[in-house]
Structure 1
């Protein structure tokens, strides 16, 4: 094991902004003339459920940071549904997985001044093979930055649970995508409360709609698509829904979604009608 300074960025939940914050921290270090490495031990954002698929986050980090590490080094474990099913049935060896992560980490760390490690999913992901982010932080001797979202004081339960699990390895918390409505509560009550519990808060980043999705016009341009109406194309698309179900079920599903685009077949008039409704 090397003694290269290592930072693990983890989160209280999925899609909290770990990748952006991990890459941003690495870029800041690189701008200060540090040679930086990156890895995501558990690949969770996969392109398919089976096989040696690649997580999208390491690919983005390699491009943005100009890294030349191989993908198998940056993503030692493909944490796919197939992998999890195998782990539950006893076909995965936890110690072998730990050794694989440690070996790839050592190869990356040997060539860099600092290493930035991105957690997979939430900080509890990996428990079926004893590789939660708590375990990874211990394995790689990493300091931890916790990314959390905040909508109400109830969200502090998750932050405190994570802080207790990471213990002294937790360097601090970054709140991300905080809405205007929730910011005052977090600033006036939430942050002082956490700090009274000994939890350092690095800051809070506001929710920015422009960073949360793309406009209809941008999506059409990227796809080279034909627009069938003359409606405004400034509306934001923040999530994509696949319309593969029946029309009635689709309608119930679509009613729970906002600012979404529906992807469905040209012959699925029932799904198209449900989406328009």
Structure 2
């Protein structure tokens, strides 16, 4: 009778902490060590509803493709988390025992480790008994938690998670640590957490590329019209600038930026030209005014897309800011970056020891 696979539950203290990045980097290392892995996300939170009544979990699709997982190692979504499923649950028309269904996640054969991705926060999914603490307790699963570093108060959320999860919290990864904070995290925060029974499995520095968004994603979020270079929507945007000053000030301002999206009025040809001569990945023109042929020609030559939006500047900036705050990893260049970072900064051998897995024995 084949031995059952070990399972590991990956959670996060808040949404967009870097959970998918942790799984992607970890899975890549495990595969390189010869382990056979399976992956599943019981609660679907990144849903594509292109087919009516058949929501697809985009993160699961992406993870399966990126890690080259065969179908039998991609576990089914148990529940799409949307208004319809929530309504059915709170009105009592859905009485499904989701924890019972979850048992299938711990019983696949022919794999060494099942990576189970929790929802966005520790609380999300509680209505369906599928929050991370509920799954960990019901199935006796070890948990690795990822938390984004915003300040030294990251210890608060990790101490709270330890109180919720107890001994099932196997370790944590602290993500997005600014370079000037790394020494403090290593010398003060990490020892503090260890004294409180929290193992730190990785400290990931901030990375501008990982926080960037593609021009194509901005087109999607803004509902923008692409006026030129639709072939360059794969360019990555790391920062946002607003061009609303005189041209001399704008040029000095733009030169301080790198890989920018610049928002300016469609009637500001002087600002547009200045932007094209700096590290600009796309121009976003508001006011629904077309740029001059000179601007379009120059942008074509420099391979810089120009987007036109039927929005005011404030709304445009808010949408782009939100896109930066909800960055995902679906670009190949980001996949490569996170794999390199995890290989350097994540203690994969320590994790394997804690799980009782021997990579040599599984090859």
> TM-score, with normalisation over the residues of structure 2?
0.59
Cα deviation for residue 39 of structure 1 reads: 0.5
Provide the alpha-carbon RMSD of the alignment. 3.5
2:35 is the counterpart of 1:34 = yes
Distance 1:106 1:233, change over 3 A: farther
CA distance in 2, matches of 1:259, 1:53: 23
Partner of 1:46: 47
CA distance in 2, matches of 1:73, 1:257: 34
Distance 1:202 1:161, change over 3 A: same
2:178 is the counterpart of 1:176 = no
Alignment match of 1:63 (pick from 49, 62, 65): 65
Distance 1:221 1:183, change over 3 A: farther
Distance 1:218 1:14, change over 3 A: closer
Deviations 1:118-144 (A, max 9, x none): 111112211112221111223343221
Distance 1:161 1:218, change over 3 A: closer
Cα deviation for residue 156 of structure 1 reads: 1.8
CA distance in 1, matches of 2:133, 2:216: 42
CA distance in 2, matches of 1:38, 1:260: 26
Distance 1:114 1:161, change over 3 A: same
Residues 148-227 of structure 1 mapped to structure 2, 5 A cutoff: 148-214=147-213, 221-223=231-233
Give secondary structure in 2 for the equivalent of 1:203.
strand
CA distance in 2, matches of 1:164, 1:245: 49
Distance 1:142 1:89, change over 3 A: same
Distance 1:65 1:258, change over 3 A: closer
Partner of 2:123: 124
CA distance in 1, matches of 2:322, 2:92: 42
2:87 is the counterpart of 1:77 = no
CA distance in 2, matches of 1:77, 1:260: 25
Deviations 1:162-214 (A, max 9, x none): 11111111111100111224333322322222112111111210110012214
CA distance in 1, matches of 2:234, 2:157: 43
Aligned residues: 249
Partner of 1:93: 95
Gaps of 5+ in 1: 238-242, 262-277
CA distance in 1, matches of 2:148, 2:25: 18
8 Å CA contact retained: 1:215, 1:235:
no
8 Å CA contact retained: 1:146, 1:174:
yes
CA distance in 2, matches of 1:195, 1:204: 14
Distance 1:259 1:39, change over 3 A: closer
CA distance in 2, matches of 1:84, 1:28: 36
8 Å CA contact retained: 1:58, 1:74:
no
Partner of 2:299: none
8 Å CA contact retained: 1:77, 1:101:
no
8 Å CA contact retained: 1:12, 1:148:
yes
Give secondary structure in 1 for the equivalent of 2:75.
helix
Residues 135-154 of structure 1 mapped to structure 2, 5 A cutoff: 135-154=134-153
8 Å CA contact retained: 1:217, 1:234:
no
Rg (Cα) greater in structure: 2
CA distance in 1, matches of 2:23, 2:279: 30
8 Å CA contact retained: 2:6, 2:113:
yes
Give secondary structure in 1 for the equivalent of 2:198.
coil
Cα deviation for residue 82 of structure 1 reads: 2.1
8 Å CA contact retained: 2:145, 2:172:
yes
